[in-house]
Amino acid sequence: MNRDEILKTADEERVRFMRLQFTDIMGVIKNVEIPRSQFEKALDGQIMFDGSSIEGFTRIEESDMLLTPDYETFRVNPWTNPDGSKVARMICDVYLPDGSPFPGCPRMTLKRQVEQAKKLGYTMVAGPEAEFFLFQKDEYGNPKLETHDIGGYFDLTPVDKGEECRRDIVIVLEAMGFEVEAAHHEVAPGQHEIDFKYDQAVSCADNVTTFRFVVKKVAQDHGLHATFMPKPIFGVNGSGMHVHQSLMNKKGENAFYDAKAEFQLSKVAMGYIGGILEHAQGFSAVTNPLVNSYKRLVPGYEAPVNVAWSEKNRSPLVRVPAKRGMSTRCEVRMPDPSCNPYLALAVMMAAGLDGVKRELHPGPPINKNIFTMSNREKRRLRIGQLPANLSEALDELEKDDVVKEALGDHIFDNYLRAKRQEWKEYISHVHPWEQERYLGEY
């Protein structure tokens, strides 16, 4: 869409307000809402905001920033206000007043990696599988640790609020331009997954942020609470966000496919997988950013804690699905849906491209179930482990120059500072488990 088409559509659809949307470095959606009288100004990139109030953005003495909307992200929300008007949104890049890109903008950070791939002759495409839980609410509207069902993987449960909610989420997503491929119940009670079609990296990250907003909004309309917290319940599987990814060459062909190579995987594919494995420990603090993320990444719950790959089983960190040709791809199984999708895709792409440039080899695939292997056998096969907690993940991040460079100094410094503080608060807090375990014994 161009500027005139957006304004025409806005008037035809009775759009009264426009949300100019972006994310902070933690992935939290921020927005400035403007009335119809300011649409032209917004489309010209003239809307300013105070960056000093946004987590990890800038200091108070240099706070003014500009929002530059991406016209292709213009969408009219399918909900109608009581007066019959509607609200639209556009996703923005953040610039400094002098017109230069703001180094703390996560979307621009991903765009820099897209340009790095382009210099090598590639375009990244990615497709996420984001899982989430639906919880009941108490009489005050607060979430309870009580799910809406006791269903399991692919179960067809009796029609309830959860089934209806998931169906309505799909309807809204399709109204906003998504091509939804599947929606189903996941392994744990109250857990769901909705898969949408792959896209180029920046559009993929845009879609994830929109997806999370829609899920929460529709769940709220159904009297439920949706959460992308990685491990909300002890004793059941947590929520992941497996990311399928591949590189397309300048001819539009899948650069991961080579009909004559072993496993029909090209040198580019093997290098990319090798890069993901080499840097997985370094980027885990970005793809798995919460203290709670590492409650999911423990043995026994199908979580990919083992740094290995396979073209068959699902226990390693990277899996190569069976389809070949244009569908050839690797599935990175460690990220969770609490991550900032722009930064997560940026660091994974940087890791994969580093492997392509250095022609890394991931070694032979591990086709045995790693979950049942002894530690001795894992050592023999040189299967590494992901960090056990956020603190260890931050230590690994500090040591990985490729990941640090992908984030840039501004985001790296502010992200590290915020996450170190999060860990400090966590370890100083007395948790119910400790009270239950020790209060009566000592």
DSSP 166-180: HHHHHHHHHHTT--E
* Rounded Cα gap, residues 298 and 389, in angstroms: 10
Q: What is the pLDDT of residue 149?
A: 67
Q: What is the pLDDT of residue 293?
A: 97
* Rounded Cα gap, residues 193 and 130, in angstroms: 6
Q: In the numeric block, which tokens belong to residue 157?
A: 């449960």
Taking residue 142's Cβ as centre, other Cβ atoms within 10 Å add up to 9
Taking residue 314's Cβ as centre, other Cβ atoms within 10 Å add up to 14
- Could you identify the residue written with the tokens 């119910």? 432
391 CB-near residues (< 8 Å, 6+ apart): 423, 427
Q: In the numeric block, which tokens belong to residue 113?
A: 């990696």
* Rounded Cα gap, residues 404 and 36, in angstroms: 41
* Rounded Cα gap, residues 186 and 238, in angstroms: 10
Smallest CA-to-CA distance from 180 within 194, 196, 161 is with 196
Q: Which residues are the active-site residues?
A: 50, 129, 131, 186, 193, 242, 314, 331, 333
How many residues does the structure list for the chain? 442
DSSP 188: S
Helix, strand, coil percentages in the chain from 3-state DSSP, rounded to 5: 40, 25, 35
- Strands (DSSP E) contained in 197-349 are 199-200, 225-227, 241-248, 306-310, 316-319, 330-332
Q: What is the pLDDT of residue 304?
A: 84
Residue by residue, DSSP assigns 372-438 as G--HHHHHHTT-EE--SSHHHHHHHHHH-HHHHHHHHHHHHHHHHHHHHHHHHHHHHSPPHHHHHHH
Task: Mark the ranges of the chain whose per-residue pLDDT is less than 50.
Answer: 60-61, 152-155
Helix axes 267-287, 341-358, angle to 10 degrees: 140
Residue by residue, DSSP assigns 322-352 as S--GGG--EEE----TTS-HHHHHHHHHHHH
Q: What is the pLDDT of residue 366?
A: 86
* Rounded Cα gap, residues 119 and 435, in angstroms: 56
Q: In the numeric block, which tokens belong to residue 412?
A: 């790296």
CA distances from 382 to 143, 376, 377, 410 (A): 43, 10, 8, 35
Q: In the numeric block, which tokens belong to residue 96?
A: 């400094």
